[in-house]
Amino acid sequence: MELHWTYFGFEDDDPAMERRRLKQANLVGPAGYVSMEDGCVGGFVQRGAAAAGDHVSVVNMGGDGAESQETRATEASVRGFWKAYRRYMGY
C-alpha cells in the first residue's frame, strides 16, 4: 500500500507561517515523529497476519460507546466524531 502525502499552504502565508508548516510536516510520513510508530506497528501486524490468512481478529477497545476513559488508549474521540458525523449527515 502507498500513501501519498500532500501538504497545503495558502498563497498569503507569510514566511514565518510557511516555515511553521514546513516544520510541522516532520510529524507525519515515513520519518514522522507521530507516524513512525504507526508504521512500525503496521509492519508487525502485517507480518503477523500473513501467517494466519484464514483467521479473523477484532479488538473492540470498549465496544461502541464514546464515553471518556481513564486511559489514552481509547477510541472514544474517534467514535464520537463518526457518531456526530453520521447524525449531521443523516445516515
Partner 1 sequence: MVTAAPASLLQPRLAQLNADYARALDDDRLEDWPGFFGDPCLYVITTADNHRQGHAAGVIYADSPGMLHDRVAALREANVYERHTYRHLVGLPAIVGESDGLVRAETPFLVVRIMRDGRMDLFATGRYLDVVVDAHGVLLLRERRVVCDGNRFDTLLAIPL
Q: How far is the CB of 87 from partner 1 (least distance, A)?
A: 35
Classify residue 72 by its DSSP letter.
Answer: S
Q: What's CA 88's distance to the chain center, in Å?
A: 22
Name the region of 32 (left: φ>0; alpha: ψ -120 to 50; beta: rest): beta
Q: How far is the CB of 8 from partner 1 (least distance, A)?
A: 10
Close Cβ partners of 68 (under 8 Å, ≥ 6 residues apart): 76
23 or 87: whose CB is closer to partner 1?
23
Of 18 and 67, nearer to partner 1 (C-beta) is 18
Residues found near partner 1 in the complex (CB under 8 A): 2, 7, 18-19, 21-23, 25-26, 29-31, 33, 36-37, 39-43
Min dist CB 61 to partner 1, Å, is: 19
Q: Determine contact, residues 33/27, Cβ cutoff 8 Å.
A: yes
